[in-house]
Amino acid sequence: MEDINLEINDEDAHRPVEHPKSLIPQELELQKEEKAETQEDKEKQQKFNEYYLNLMTTGFGEDLNAVRSSKDFTPTSMPIIIRALKEGINMFDKEQRDLILSTGK
């Protein structure tokens, strides 16, 4: 195993320490800023989620009732169904959600 030199020489001892954030490449920092959601984006996302889930439960209401009344339906089945319905929301990007909200009402 190699020995690691942990000695600090005088030159390194007086050098200012860089903030870890300064080590993040600028491209990644810009992407992070672009992804930051505003409150308006969060509200639009919530409205779309409600719209989508309402559309799915209305459109597939009979199917959901058939699943719910089946013999093998258990209390743990409902969270699985809910998660499956919610996963469909991820098919749409922000622009698509905004377009659906603007025309879907």
Number of independent structural domains in the chain? 1
Per-residue pLDDT for 15 more than 80?
no
Which of these, 53, 103, 45, 42, lies nearest to 83 by C-alpha position? Answer: 53
Q: Following DSSP, what letter does each residue of 49-90 receive, concatenated?
A: HHHHHHHHHHHTHHHHHHHHTSTT--TTHHHHHHHHHHHGGG
Instruction: Establish if 92 belongs to a structural domain.
Output: yes
Instruction: Establish if 57 belongs to a structural domain.
Output: yes
Q: Tell me: the pLDDT tens digits for 42-62? A: 888 999 999 999 999 899 999
Instruction: Establish if 47 belongs to a structural domain.
Output: yes
Based on the number of CB atoms within 10 Å of its own CB, is 97 exposed (0-12), middle (13-18) or buried (19 or more)? buried
Domain that holds residue 92: 38-103
The model's pTM is 0.57
Instruction: Establish if 70 belongs to a structural domain.
Output: yes
Instruction: Establish if 8 belongs to a structural domain.
Output: no
- Which residue has 């058939």 as its token pair? 66
Sign of the CA dihedral running 30, 32, 34, 39: negative
Instruction: Establish if 59 belongs to a structural domain.
Output: yes
